[in-house]
Amino acid sequence: MSPTFASPPTWPWGVYVTPEPAETGITISEADFQKFREFFYRKTGIQFDSSKRYFVDKRLAERIEATGSGSFRGYFMLLRFQVNGEELQALTNLMTVNETYFFREEYQFQCLVDSLLPEIVARKIDRRPIRIWVMPSSSGEEPYSIAIYLLERWAGIHRWDVEIIASDIDTRILAQARQGLYSHRSVQYLPADYLQRYFKRRAEGYQICDDLRQSVEFTRVNLSERADTRSYRDFDVIFCRNLLIYFDDVSRKTATETFYDALKPGGFICLGHSESMSRSSSLYKVRKFPSAIVYQRPLEVS
């Protein structure tokens, strides 16, 4: 599960900036765009409609240039047939939208400590750790927010072990997450005392303290790839926020089915506020708690 990046990330703060493409003169035709879009969708579940044409073309041109492929055709062959998949990873890193920040949609963390964990603990019959999967993690703000929340607002943390595993498809963003360096913008919704307690001031921002850095495990996972998700099992809670909006119906359905097998019976899944489970929500129970609505894999074993 350890990712393969050669050099340390060069842009460690918050949202990354894609350099403007040099004037390459490389053109991507409509047919190229369609071909690429289908291929990328199959690989990642991410759907680009025609309104994203500019965004996609710009990044394709950049990689065609960087790899010296000369044309879309040559580059597409490289993407498809390169054995180690390195170029597909590099391109994926450019195509993802990594926007995130600390305490985003905080009401769900409130729900976690007020409602979900008490219920999980009440029916637990072993002493094994409670497992939380943050998928996708982006640069780490969400899993670290959860860690802070547990330490600050859940008394049960003194009686139970909790494991937080955080995954993303983007290896560059995962490197940032492990490093834990954040901009002012990224921490703006954190209460000041938390910022003081869990962060170190750095020249350009804030770095999350070593204890927290060591308490979250970051792994590279493509949610749309069976081989990647197969071993992710026995989770009590999954956070999947602001990813399914980029998926179409079929990938969203596949994802909800994947989560079903990643959860323990009775486990919960929290989605972003504008997201839904598609029809597969019939597999889940909708639970309305005071601070949030979440989905639950039914307890009774079928």
Partner 1 sequence: MGLIKTQPTVESVTEEVRKHPRDCAGLLAQLIDPNPTVRRWAARDLADCPDISAALVERLHQEADISVREVILTTLTGLGDATSVAGLVECLRSEDAARRNEAIEAMRQLPDAVAPIIRGLLADPDPDVRIFAVNILESLCHPEVERWLIEVIDRDPHVNVCGAAVDLLGEVGSGAARESLLRLKARFANEPYIRFAADLALGRLRDA
Ligand X SMILES: C[S@@+](CC[C@H](N)C(=O)[O-])C[C@H]1O[C@@H](n2cnc3c(N)ncnc32)[C@H](O)[C@@H]1O
**Which one of partner 1, ligand X, none is in contact with 186 (Cβ closer than 5 to 8 A by kind)?**
none
Specify the 3-state DSSP secondary structure of 143: helix
Q: Which is nearer to partner 1, 201 or 226 (CB)?
A: 226
Q: Indicate the residue among 115 and 258 with the shorter CB distance to ligand X.
A: 258
Binding flag, residue 168, ligand X (CB under 6 A):
yes
Active site residue 233: no
Stretch that binds partner 1, among 67-75, 78-86, 160-168, 268-276 (CB under 8 A): 160-168
Point out which span in 50-58, 124-132, 200-208, 219-227 binds ligand X (CB under 6 A): 219-227
> With CB cut-offs between 5 and 8 Å by kind, which of partner 1, ligand X, none does residue 98 bind?
ligand X
Instruction: Tell whether residue 210 is a contact of partner 1 (CB under 8 A).
Output: no
**Is 238 a binder of partner 1 (CB under 8 A)?**
no
3 state SS of 33 = helix
What DSSP string runs through 228-281? Answer: HHTT---EEEEEE-SSGGGB-HHHHHHHHHHHHHHEEEEEEEEE-TT---GGGG
**Gap between the Cα atoms of 170 and 148, Å rounded:** 24
How many other CB atoms sit within 10 Å of the CB of residue 182? 27
Order across the sheet with 285-288: list the strands: 130-134, 235-240, 263-271, 293-296, 285-288
User: CA-CA distances (angstroms) from residue 201 to 131, 181, 192?
Assistant: 30, 10, 13
Among the listed residues 88, 121, 151, 209, the single contact to partner 1 using CB under 8 A? 151
**What mask, x for binding ligand X by CB under 6 A, covers residues 123 to 162?**
-------------x-x---x--------------------
Which of 258, 251, 257, 249 lies closest to 278 in space, CA to CA? Answer: 249
The residue behind tokens 């969400």 is 142
Active site residue 59: yes
Q: Please report whether residue 242 would count as binding ligand X according to CB under 6 A.
A: yes
Backbone CA torsion sign across 111, 117, 120, 123: negative
Per CB under 6 A, residues contacting ligand X are 44-46, 96-100, 104, 136, 138, 142, 168-170, 173, 221-224, 241-243, 272
Which residues does the annotation mark as catalytic?
59, 168
Per CB under 8 A, residues contacting partner 1 are 1, 129, 147, 150-151, 157-165, 212, 214-217, 219, 226, 230-234, 249-250, 253-254, 257, 260-261, 279-280, 282-283, 302
